[in-house]
Amino acid sequence: MKERTPLNIQVGDIVNYDLVDYEVVGKITYREHAYEWFGYQLLEGHSTIWLSAEMDDELELGIYRTIKLPVSKPFPDTLEYEGKTYHKDGEGDARVVGEGRSANVNGQSISYADYIADDETDYLSVEAWGSDTEVSHGYDIEPYDIKIIAGSH
């Protein structure tokens, strides 16, 4: 069995974050041209968080929670959330591969935009899935903040 890293987590693995064991119940692989990044749906009880992982110049990890914030295309240059202003830091289109609970999105194309707060401590991620737009709020974590336990398969 391959050693698990944040870039090869599988559905059924356990991710320990902040002293809580979450089950990986969904995985989305995003591809834009030759670049890819991952979103892992982590579940503990009724609590769902998303772990994002990408290898830019170095490994970048984030924890995201879905929020209610109305956003529509074209994506605006700035967004306001909980008293902070976020500036658009990038946008594009990606094809997605979904596994586990995310299998229903397999093969779709999405439009996305990433926003960063003025203080550069947290982020908003906007994804347009057809007529639905999802917004998530997140922040960076370090690789040592999580522990990955391979599932039984």
- Other C-beta atoms closer than 10 Å to the C-beta of 110 total 21
Residue 149 has pLDDT above 90, yes or no: yes
Residue 153 has pLDDT above 60, yes or no: no
Per-residue pLDDT of 11-44, as tens digits, reads 999 999 999 999 999 999 999 999 999 999 999 9
- Cα(first)–Cα(last) distance of the chain, in Å? 9
Among candidate residues 85, 82, 81, 16, the one with its CA nearest the CA of residue 51 = 16
Per-residue pLDDT of 65-123, as tens digits, reads 999 999 998 999 999 999 999 999 999 999 999 999 999 999 999 999 999 999 899 99
DSSP states of 124-142 as a string?
EEEEEETTEEEEEEEEEE-
The domain locations on the chain are: 14-149
